[in-house]
């Protein structure tokens, strides 16, 4: 990061190249990204990515916060799909503490995670369309992101930075309105998604702008440690949900879509198909929830699960546990654990070292946006500027996750 040293070239008057500062606040980059490009006309000769504009030292803060206070930090990583981050963090701690989660909670969590995956993919795919000039599709599908946020609001009270769930389960059960809203969403969204696809999938202009742009080979993608839809677009079927199932994903029947060439069009198609698969998973999860005993929304672990306020005020035991948890007097094993979930952009990993204190000794986030973005400047070489913009949209780099 070099924000107080603007990057200039040698300013050679003989040079034919032009230095272009793309960002940090360029409307086409959808976030705080700076790339200093050397331009030969409209073609990029070389580029340097400068990141860190919204670095908030989450890893340092996390060393000073008890486990349950770290959840709001994870919200602010990939804020387009915060629930996945929240759940990933809860599951990391649950793995550390060896907590067995009831099946019903697992299924409810799967519903939340798949809804947020859909909202994440809606953002990415509609923005690709927007950047190629198709504003209609953007406005049309984007309203369903709003409907997903309404569901989150019903479940946890928040919309964007959700802080959803607790260590050991969820903070409250889904109410009837939440289920009704999910069912309504499942009825309406496929119709809109089908229309969205019919507007773009065989659209000549869209294909011309995206197919063949920013092709990536499988070797390069693996070499740069890419994960998520970007890696799958190159044809490698790596999905954490399948390779290391968490939260009972092994109980679900779904497919992992892959592309062939890794270009922008393939990434778009992979994300679209993942939305269809997410719908399938949510439908199955709703059925499975019905077969489980009603009313269970957390594991029976009073040492770690914060009791409800009503209980705390009326029940002495709950009050004691409340204070024990808030004062951080929990006995967590001295151990280290790595847990990964499939985030919107790829493998979101939590590396947690606990030394028995109130707070983690060390917590590291493996942030897919950060790792995926490291190839961007290299990829842009030789590309047209307008292609580089679409490439960035299709990589779905989220500034919060990039800079942590």
Partner 1 sequence: MAKATNTEIIDLLGHNFGEQLFDVSEPYGLLTFSTTKEKIIDVLTFLKENEKITFNFLTDITAVHYPEKEQIAVVYHLHSMVGGIRIRIKVFLNEREAKIPTATTLWNGANWMERETYDFFGVKFEGHPNLKRILNMDDLIVHPMLKQYPLEDPNRVDKKDEYFGR
Q: How many C-beta neighbours within 10 Å does residue 11 have?
A: 7
Taking the complex as a whole, the smallest distance from the CB of residue 178 to partner 1 amounts, in Å, to 33
Residue closer to partner 1, measured from CB, 134 or 379: 379
Residue 132 or 247 having the CB closest to partner 1: 247
CB of 57 to partner 1, least distance (A): 7
Q: Residue count of the chain, please give it.
A: 404
Q: Structure tokens of 297? A: 């929304």
Contacting positions for partner 1 (CB under 8 A)? 1-5, 51-52, 55, 57, 59-61, 63-66, 95-96, 220, 222-226, 236, 238, 243-244, 328, 335-338, 340, 347, 349, 351, 353, 357-359, 361-362, 364, 366, 370-371, 373-375, 378, 403-404
Closer Cβ to partner 1, 15 or 374, answer by number: 374
Decide whether 183 or 374 has the Cβ nearer to partner 1.
Answer: 374
At 369, give phi and psi (nearest 5°): -60, -40
Q: Which two tokens stand for residue 386?
A: 């307008």
Least CB distance from residue 115 to partner 1, whole Å? Answer: 27
- Taking the complex as a whole, how short is the minimal distance between the CB of residue 80 and partner 1, in angstroms? 20
Tokens of 96: 């550390």
- Tell which residue, 291, 123, 278, has the closest CA to residue 185: 278
DSSP string, 54-105: T---HHHHHTTS-HHHHHHHHHTSSTTSHHHHHHHHHHHHHHHHTPPPPHHH
Helix (H, G, I), strand (E, B) or coil at 157: coil
Choice between 69 and 386, CB closer to partner 1: 69
Min CB(78)–partner 1 separation in Å:
16
As given in the structure block, the two tokens for residue 75 are 């919200």
Among 140, 78, 61, which Cα is nearest to 113's? 78
Nearer to partner 1, 284 or 391 (CB): 391
Dist CA 369 CA 366 (whole Å): 9
Q: How far is the CB of 2 from partner 1 (least distance, A)?
A: 5
């Amino acid at each position: 990061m070099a924000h107080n040293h603007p990057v200039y070239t040698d300013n050679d008057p003989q040079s034919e190249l032009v230095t272009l500062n793309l960002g940090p606040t360029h409307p086409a980059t959808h976030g705080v990204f700076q790339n200093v490009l050397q331009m030969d006309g409209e073609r990029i000769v070389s580029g340097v990515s400068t990141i860190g504009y919204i670095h908030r030292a989450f890893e340092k803060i996390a060393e000073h916060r008890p486990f349950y206070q770290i959840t709001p930090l994870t919200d602010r990583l990939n804020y387009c799909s915060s629930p996945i981050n929240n759940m990933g963090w809860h599951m990391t701690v649950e793995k550390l503490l060896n907590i067995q989660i009831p099946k019903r909670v697992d299924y409810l969590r799967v519903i939340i995670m798949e809804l947020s995956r859909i909202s994440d993919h809606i953002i990415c795919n509609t923005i690709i369309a927007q950047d190629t000039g198709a504003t209609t599709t953007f406005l049309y599908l984007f309203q369903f992101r709003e409907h997903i946020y309404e569901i989150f609001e019903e479940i946890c009270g928040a919309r964007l930075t959700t802080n959803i769930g607790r260590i050991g389960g969820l903070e409250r059960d889904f109410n009837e309105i939440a289920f009704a809203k999910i069912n309504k969403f499942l009825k309406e969204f496929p119709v809109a998604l089908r229309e969205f696809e019919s507007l773009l999938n065989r659209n000549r202009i869209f294909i011309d702008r995206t197919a063949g742009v920013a092709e990536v080979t499988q070797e390069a993608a693996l070499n740069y440690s890419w994960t998520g839809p970007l890696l799958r677009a190159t044809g490698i079927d790596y999905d954490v949900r399948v390779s290391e199932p968490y939260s009972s994903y092994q109980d679900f029947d779904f497919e992992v879509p892959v592309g062939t060439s890794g270009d922008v069009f393939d990434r778009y198609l992979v994300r679209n198909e993942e939305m269809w698969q997410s719908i399938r998973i949510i439908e199955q999860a709703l059925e499975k929830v019905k077969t489980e005993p009603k009313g269970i929304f957390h594991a029976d672990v009073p040492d770690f699960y914060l009791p409800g306020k009503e209980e705390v005020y009326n029940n002495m035991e709950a009050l004691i546990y409340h204070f024990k948890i808030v004062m951080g007097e929990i006995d967590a094993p001295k151990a280290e654990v790595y847990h990964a979930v499939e985030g919107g952009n790829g493998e979101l990993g939590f590396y947690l070292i606990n030394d028995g204190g109130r707070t983690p000794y060390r917590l590291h986030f493996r942030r897919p946006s950060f790792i995926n973005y490291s190839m961007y400047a290299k990829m842009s070489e030789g590309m047209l500027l307008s292609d580089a913009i679409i490439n960035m949209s299709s990589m779905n780099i989220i500034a919060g996750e990039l800079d942590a």
